[in-house]
Chains A and B, each alone.
Chain A
Amino acid sequence: MISMNPILEIEGLSLAAKSKKQLVTNVSLSVGAGESLGIVGESGSGKSLTLRSILGLLPRGVEQVSGVIKCDGRAAMIFQDPRGALDPLCPVVRQLAEVVYYRQNVSRRASRTIALELLEMLGLPDSLKHTDRYPSQLSGGQCQRIVIAIALACKPGILLCDEPTTALDVTVQQQIIETITRLQSELGFAIVFVTHNLAIAAAMCSKLCVMKEGKIVERGDSLSLLQNPQDPYTQMLINAVLPLPEFERSAGV
């Protein structure tokens, strides 16, 4: 899976704990500009660590043992717990404007204007423009939109998503996915989407990597991977997606 014009390239990445326990082994992947790559796998498979290593956000005690990470262009990250990714004691629009101020080198005043435009882009309520609010006063979905707005304030070439929908209600999950997809087509950034939810990953991304115990066990185009899984673990993940019970169809016919 070599893209013609990769914006992110990881080669032979290995991560290990200080206790020498191998956490991620020899992971290579590349993402082209505007592409979207999904990384799926169970908890503890090393998918989040791989993603975090791109920004150098490894937890204390975890080290990069080998491998090269090349990232052209800015990377920004969206986190699993949107409330945890915001300063609880700072109003959200101020947080957003602050990032705009430092990343786009504009005046304080202009940064606020840009922040308000971003709010609009993310479909956040207009009332935020008049009265700023603390993260605890917003719903989980609204917080996640703020986090996405903050990520976009960096004008990222690549957006790293670390299970951005896991902590949200199902209906809100849908909205967030739609928002990210819409913004991607508008702004053209690349996406690396880490999730344990194969259905979401397949819906969002054209390419998928399946990770297990720190290794990539299978990769390929989403469709062909779903239809014709080679690795037994991928097969297991596909089977684990619960189908809806088909009451209505049988009742309707």
Chain B
Amino acid sequence: MKPTLLDLPLQADDKNKRIINRILNTPSLLVGSIMLIILVGLAVLAPFISPYHPSDQNLYAILQPPSSEHWLGTDQLGRDLFTRLIYAARTDLKIMVLAEIIPFCTGVFLGMLAGYYGKWIDTLITLVTDTFIAFPFYLIVIIVAFASGAGQRGLYITFILVGWIVYARVIKGLSASFRKQEWVASAQTLGIPGVKIILRHLLPNVLPQAVVVLMTDMVGLLVAIVTLGYLGIGIAPPTPDWGTMISDGQSFITTAWWLSAVPGLAVVYTGIALSLVGDGLADLWRRK
């Protein structure tokens, strides 16, 4: 056989190097990741960073302004605010991540089922998601949180019940669009079982989008955790939490404004970091 174009070498490339280059060329991802790493670092290393314990009271030094001894001052019980801030990050970030796992999995799975099979499965799942969306989000959250009792368990139950809806909706649309592509149709005619197509071929294709949604959804979840804490139906004291810190500081807003402002800014900081990472990932995958 005469030589053909096919005898030329395949377009090989140094994959790892390219990925690193692409991340460096996506500023939002880079900045967001650095912000997240700092935050998680502070939270994880909290006991080593701060000499104080978050519940240690010192009634001789209450409501102090920031100083070299207490970087962000102290609250009404003389507890070090910076220490409480980074310990609260531990609680809130931990719940944020853990509470997303089950909704993420069920939402993506149900979305793929609805988008891939369509018909009655789609109708059923759309019915449920639309019903949930018709209610104000916080109304559902507060009702379920009340019903399941304050504290972390209530938060988890709440988000397992309502968290999957966002994913199901996005992934349903995406799966339906993949379904129309030829490779899915051809896989079906080639006799590959539906479950295998969904898990081996559809899942990797919808996962990037699901992760982008995960990032933005975590921001919403963090705000919900903090809001419930603020309302007194979330994390119960003395466990440090940004929401309870904001509500505790409220009484001293005229004299020691930083008590409420600092945990509020921490929420904003986390929100910005997660949004930047989400945007960056979306950019990265769109440019591919």
A contact residues vs B (CB 8 Å cutoff): 55-57, 59-60, 76-77, 79, 81, 84-90, 98-99, 102-103, 123-125, 127-128, 133, 137-139, 141-142, 145, 147, 150, 153-154, 171-172, 175
Contact = CB atoms under 8 A, between A and B. Distances in A.
B67 interface: no
B10 A133 contact: yes
A79 B5 contact: no
Contact of A125 (B9, B13, B180): B9
Contacts of B193: 102
A103 B182 contact: no
Contacts of B180: 59-60
Contact of A98 (B9, B181, B192): B192
Given A139-B5, A175-B4, A79 B182 contact: yes
Interface stretch (B37-45, B47-55, B183-191, B260-268): B183-191
A81 to B, nearest CB: 7
B238 interface: no
20 contacts: A55-B189, A59-B180, A76-B190, A77-B189, A79-B186, A85-B183, A86-B183, A87-B187, A90-B200, A98-B196, A99-B190, A123-B4, A124-B6, A125-B9, A137-B11, A137-B13, A139-B5, A142-B6, A150-B186, A154-B190
Contact of B5 (A81, A153, A171): A171
A245 B196 CA distance: 53
Smallest CB-CB A-B distances: 7 pairs:
A89-B204, A84-B182, A87-B201, A85-B182, A55-B189, A99-B190, A79-B182
A175 B204 contact: no
Contacts of A76: 189-190
B7 interface: yes
Contacts of A145: 6
A215 B4 CA distance: 39
Contacts, number: 81
Interface size class on chain B is 20 to 34
A77 B186 contact: yes
Given A81-B182, A87-B201, A171-B5, A128 B189 contact: no
B58 interface: no
Contacts of A124: 6
A125 B7 contact: yes
B190 A150 contact: yes
A102 to B, nearest CB: 5
B6 to A, nearest CB: 6
Contacts of B186: 77, 79, 85, 147, 150
A146 B181 CA distance: 17
A123 B10 contact: no
B10 A125 contact: yes
A153 B204 CA distance: 24
Interface centre among B6, B196, B200, B204 (most CB of A within 10 A): B6
A172 B9 contact: no
